[in-house]
Amino acid sequence: MLSTENVKAYLLNLQESICESLSVIDGKPFIHDSWQRTEGGGGVSRVLEGGAVIEKGGVNFSEVFGNKLPGSATAHRPQLAGAPWQAMGVSLVIHPRNPYAPTSHMNVRFFIARPEHGEPVWWFGGGFDLTPYYGFDEDCRHWHQTAQTALAPFGDDVHARYKQWCDDYFFLKHRNEHRGIGGVFFDDLNEGGFDRCFALTQAVGNAYLPAYTPILQQRQAMPYSERERDFQLYRRGRYVEFNLVWDRGTLFGLQSGGRTEAILMSLPPEVRFRYDWAPEPGTPEARLYSHYLKPQDWLNEN
């Protein structure tokens, strides 16, 4: 049964549980920053900066309303142009301090539009992906295995389809380069009814912590030098490029008059750009490009 209040309650609980778990790992709490949107709705931003483990992390909840869907949401549904709408979701990005600990991203979201004539049109979307700077095969296997386990109850082919969708989506076309090792991604989900779609979305949201926290705890204290730090900051530039050039969530937030501070919270605190740089062949930095930024079946690798 379609219930926006049940979706909202789940999302707020998800935000709280993720912040609590990550605060325990870091030892520093997330600050609360509530905000209101003039056009309707608002949200709560939870931010941790300057932590011992997390250099910058943000976990956003938003619930916004409008009288006309922005273009990024109606590109595939022109019949909804001008329809009143409601959108809510949780979106997070965690940038660890240690270069051996990967950046992670997750979001789950729900949209509903109510055209003047006809039934409401709704859909879910979301996923999570991992962006290492120095890769470890066991981390990749754990990340993807957790995603596969979460999606297994929803069909034998669901994980494979959503993994491929993630590989295709988190791709910097102007660099011909993937952002990281992927994960799962889905959008426009309404097949099978509201209850199934909501359950699948919850499965993805609930899988984030067991997918990410073991990796973060394993890598957070590894020794590193300025070399690794420099490469981490350089690679963070790719994260900035993707979010500002290609990310649909960023585009939707800006087009719908969302709070800019919350929308751009995903950007890392420090980053370095340099002209036409490439790693030396045979180095760990070069292996990121040759091995980890190439989509592959991590669950069936020898």
What is the mean pLDDT, run by run of 10 residues, along the chain of 302 residues? Answer: 89 98 98 87 93 97 83 61 87 97 97 83 96 97 98 96 96 93 96 96 98 98 97 95 84 73 82 93 96 93 58
- CATH number of the domain at 18, please: 3.40.1500.10
181 lies in some domain: yes
Quote the pLDDT of residue 300.
86
How many domains is the chain partitioned into structurally? 1
Residue 132, in any domain of the structure = yes
* Tens of pLDDT, residues 86-110: 999 999 999 999 999 999 999 999 9
| 195 membership: H or E segment, kind and range | helix 194-219
pLDDT digits 0-9 by tens, 20-47: 999 999 999 999 989 888 888 889 999 9
Quote the pLDDT of residue 183. Answer: 97
301 inside domain? no
Catalytic residue among 32, 105, 142, 159: 105
> Residue 75 has what pLDDT?
55
Does residue 298 belong to any structural domain of this protein? no
107 is in an annotated binding site: yes
Q: Is 76 tagged catalytic?
A: no
57 is in an annotated binding site: no
Residue 73 covered by a domain = yes
Residue 162 placed within a domain: yes
Q: What is the pTM of this model?
A: 0.92
Alpha-carbon Rg for the chain, nearest whole angstrom, is 19
Q: Does 302 fall in a domain?
A: no
Q: What is the residue range of 261's domain?
A: 4-292
108 among the known binding-site residues? yes
- Is 67 labeled as ligand-binding? no
